[in-house]
Amino acid sequence: MDKKQIGVLGQKLSYNPSKDIPSGIVVFLVALPLCLGIALASGAPLISGLISGMIGGIVVGLMSRSHTSVSGPAASLSAVVLVAIQLLGSFQVFLLALLIGGLIQIILGLLKAGRIADYIPTNIIKGLLAAIGLILVFSQLPYALGVELDKSRLLNYSQDVFTGLQERILLVITSMEPGAILLSLISLGIMIFWDKTPLKHLKLFPPSLFVVILGVVLNQLFKIFIPSLFLDGVHLVNIPEISHFGSLFTFPDFTAINDRKVWTYAFTIAIIGSIATLLNLEATDNLDPHKRRSPPNQELVAQGIGNTLSGLLGGIPITSVIVRSSVNIEAGAESKLSTLIHGLLLMVSVLFLSNIINLIPLASLAAILLLVGYKLTSFHIIRQMYKKGWVQFLPFAVTVIAILITDVLLGVMIGSAVSVFFLLRSNFHNPYYIEATNPTNKNKTVRLELSNEVSFLNKPAIKSTLWNLPKGTKVIIDASFSSYIEPDILEIFEDYKHTFAKENNIEFNIIGLGDNYSPKKIIKIDRKNSQDRNDLKSPQKILDFLTEGNKRYIDGDLVSRRFQNKKLKDFIKDAPLAVVVNCIDMREPLNMLMNTGIGDLIPLKVAANILDTHLIETIEISCRKQHAKLILIMGNTPNKLIAASLKNIVASPNAPESTLLAPSLKAKIFEPKDISLDNLEEWSDRLVRWNLEYSKALILASNPYLNSEIKKGNIGLCSALFNRQTGRIEFSTLHMHESLSNNNSLN
């Protein structure tokens, strides 16, 4: 069948009957014994579980905007309900607490409290799913083996699964039913190999529905042909008979409205039920093959309406239930139509079909849940989480173990606590990037570059670092890349500056701190630049700054220069320090090699460092218009371009000379006969150095403006040679004026 759309409470619901109807039937078959079991675990009338199942399927199904989530009696609240009924004195008074709890949930939904679901870590959700999978396996094994245990229909997912484990093992060994084991094996085999058999063409019958029908047929055949395998009594589904429709409902006792305990349990049900719903909703969305997202606030409103109605008519608390939801998805459901069908079938079965439903062997249902449980907690999922590292795996494992030992809610809280611990630990180590901008211990400068967001969680790490700095240190706090800084952190900086820093001769500065960070502008912190640019006005000081920057590069003490577009203009508003001309053979970043900031250098490139009139005019503009104070002609060794030109001379002596070698050949620095493969590298390095001096002299000889400014000392001119093997840059002294003819001395 094609997909269709119908209107549901103002929404358009896309549904696929060929998948949704069979899925709804399967969920109904699984939900039926769960409703009865959870009611029994809660100490409530069995019919209350069925009422909650009907309301969860029909009412919550209509109100919810989740496509695959199925709601029903809440196993995670069964212990709370059991104690509440005892302490409140009657089931009717408890219904009043449930009704009020539902109203509180509606209010929580309207207040947008459902957003808390977005903050639940994925590893906790996967831990919840894995734990539910294990609980399914543990709880369904007795039914799959036909073992009669006390409260054998109690599928309570909030109890410790290890309670009475030894007794259960003994009972399992002595009380197995061959008929149940046979039905379970047949059912598991059919579902596992379904896609590899012709049965996969039965589109209207998903494997889970098929095995339920097959289980009924086989059990009736056992009765006729193999009586020893026939299952009856406690091994079959059992729902109570309803004499008339009115006998379904029990109403709350409104006379207890002023009882404080009623309100206490109302809030307890609302809070625990809401958290359980949000957890299950998130887990269900993760299982959805289409990865559709369910609005959590709408879900809280829907659950609140469902619980209000459940309290009014005699039900027990309702939440989104991962067991039903995972079965629903596994059966192939595409929309909430399957949820509605499951609710309607629960109502019809209670009123009219109890005799037929009671023929279903529990072993067939157990086989369905065993397979669902295995898929939720498969070895593949565990291995996948383990490969993500301990930070992800440990909260996952703790969540699984804690849920098994305690209950769903407490287990998730314990797992979340472990996850928060790793978060705090991560924040402790990553609130900033620290570097020493002076490699010597004397007058050491320490820069703390703050991360994007700095919260109160970072206080211990920052305080530990600042208060352990030695006397005489210069501290620079760089907040240039921070979008938010907690006021508590600013108070730490202020306290440090006026106490510890002052007492220990520590110079404390902060840069990049916007006015919006200061809470009500009460705290005022100095915003000095880490390098006072007023000190970099002369060519010699700029040269010293670049020399020191290269030393820091070699020592690994780099100043971080992370690119951030929105603040880029703040970095380039000052005049550049130098214009650097280097060879196109050199591709290493100048800012890193000399540890400068964004916009500090104007890079120009030319082959073999041989300048021409156009490039010299560009240098003039850089100095005249952009106010660069230093001209740096920078070569590199080895230089592949010059080496290749020299090698070509050796290979082809009669070939036209390279333009890269023309100036040095004209100046008779070398002759072609001088070059051989043995001295190729030596001559390449000599010519790199000669080209640097040649270009400096050419600047002085061809550009009157630059010549004049260099003579006056307003602009500096020097050369530098970058050694690729060591990373070191060899800077020359500043040159005021030189004659081009002196360059012959290089030979």
585 is in an annotated binding site: yes
- Which segments of 331-406 does DSSP mark as H helices, in order? 337-351, 354-357, 362-376, 379-387, 390-405
Helix, strand, coil share (%) of the chain residues, nearest 5: 60, 10, 30
Q: Which residue has the higher pLDDT, 422 or 223?
A: 223
pLDDT of res. 158: 40
Locate 474 and state its tokens.
Answer: 């210069």
pLDDT over 70 at 231, yes or no: yes
pLDDT over 80 at 492, yes or no: yes
Q: Which of 58-62, 406-410, 416-420, 463-467 has the highest mean pLDDT?
A: 58-62
Q: Which of 99-103, 542-546, 549-553 has the highest mean pLDDT?
A: 99-103
CB 38 within 8 A of CB 323: no
pLDDT over 60 at 152, yes or no: no
Band (pLDDT 50/70/90 cuts) for residue 380 is confident
pLDDT of res. 491: 83
CB 278 within 8 A of CB 120: yes
- How far apart are the C-alpha atoms of 81 and 429, rounded to whole Å? 44
pLDDT over 80 at 680, yes or no: yes
**What does the pLDDT average to over 620-631?**
92
Whole-number average pLDDT of the chain: 80
Which 3-state string (H, E, C) describes 496-540? HHHCHHHHCCCEEEEECCCHHHCHHHCCCCCCCCCCCHHHCCCHH
- How far apart are the C-alpha atoms of 253 and 248, rounded to whole Å? 17
pLDDT over 90 at 306, yes or no: yes
- Which segments of 500-651 does DSSP mark as H helices, in order? 500-503, 539-555, 568-571, 590-593, 613-624, 640-651
Of the CATH numbers 3.30.470.20, 3.90.1300.10, 3.40.1050.10, 2.40.50.140, which one belongs to the domain with range 575-746?
3.40.1050.10
pLDDT of res. 142: 82
Band (pLDDT 50/70/90 cuts) for residue 41 is low
How distant, in Å, are the alpha carbons of 18, 32, 209, 635 from that of 333?
Answer: 9, 18, 13, 70
**What does the pLDDT average to over 603-620?**
91
pLDDT over 80 at 548, yes or no: yes
pLDDT over 90 at 719, yes or no: yes
**What does the pLDDT average to over 222-251?**
81
**What does the pLDDT average to over 611-638?**
92
**What does the pLDDT average to over 27-48?**
78
Overall CATH class of domain 430-530: alpha beta
**% of the chain with per-residue pLDDT over 70:** 80
Band (pLDDT 50/70/90 cuts) for residue 153 is very low
Least confident of 51-60, 302-311, 435-444, 617-626: 435-444
pLDDT of res. 8: 46
Q: Which of 43-52, 73-82, 200-209 has the highest mean pLDDT?
A: 43-52
Band (pLDDT 50/70/90 cuts) for residue 453 is confident
Q: Which residue has the higher pLDDT, 426 or 740?
A: 426
pLDDT of res. 225: 93
Buried b (16+ CB within 10 A) or exposed e, 472-496: ebbbbbbbbbbeebbeebbebbbeb
pLDDT of res. 163: 54
pLDDT of res. 311: 95
The sheet with strand 507-511 has its strands ordered as 432-436, 445-450, 474-478, 507-511
**What does the pLDDT average to over 575-598?**
87
pLDDT over 70 at 434, yes or no: no
- DSSP 8-state secondary structure symbol assigned to residue 432: E
CA torsion 670-671-673-674 (nearest 10°) is -10
Band (pLDDT 50/70/90 cuts) for residue 739 is very low
pLDDT of res. 638: 87
**What does the pLDDT average to over 2-30?**
68
Band (pLDDT 50/70/90 cuts) for residue 436 is low
- How far apart are the C-alpha atoms of 717 and 729, rounded to whole Å? 16
Band (pLDDT 50/70/90 cuts) for residue 523 is very low
**% of the chain with per-residue pLDDT over 90:** 28
pLDDT over 80 at 77, yes or no: no
Q: Which of 320-324, 356-360, 398-402 has the highest mean pLDDT?
A: 398-402
Least confident of 194-208, 297-311, 686-700: 194-208
pLDDT of res. 233: 85
pLDDT of res. 479: 79
pLDDT of res. 527: 40
Band (pLDDT 50/70/90 cuts) for residue 530 is very low
**Domain boundaries defined on the chain:** 20-414, 430-530, 575-746
Locate 420 and state its tokens.
Answer: 């928060």
685 is in an annotated binding site: no
pLDDT over 90 at 706, yes or no: yes
Q: Which of 39-53, 109-123, 620-634 has the highest mean pLDDT?
A: 620-634
User: Global pTM?
Assistant: 0.54
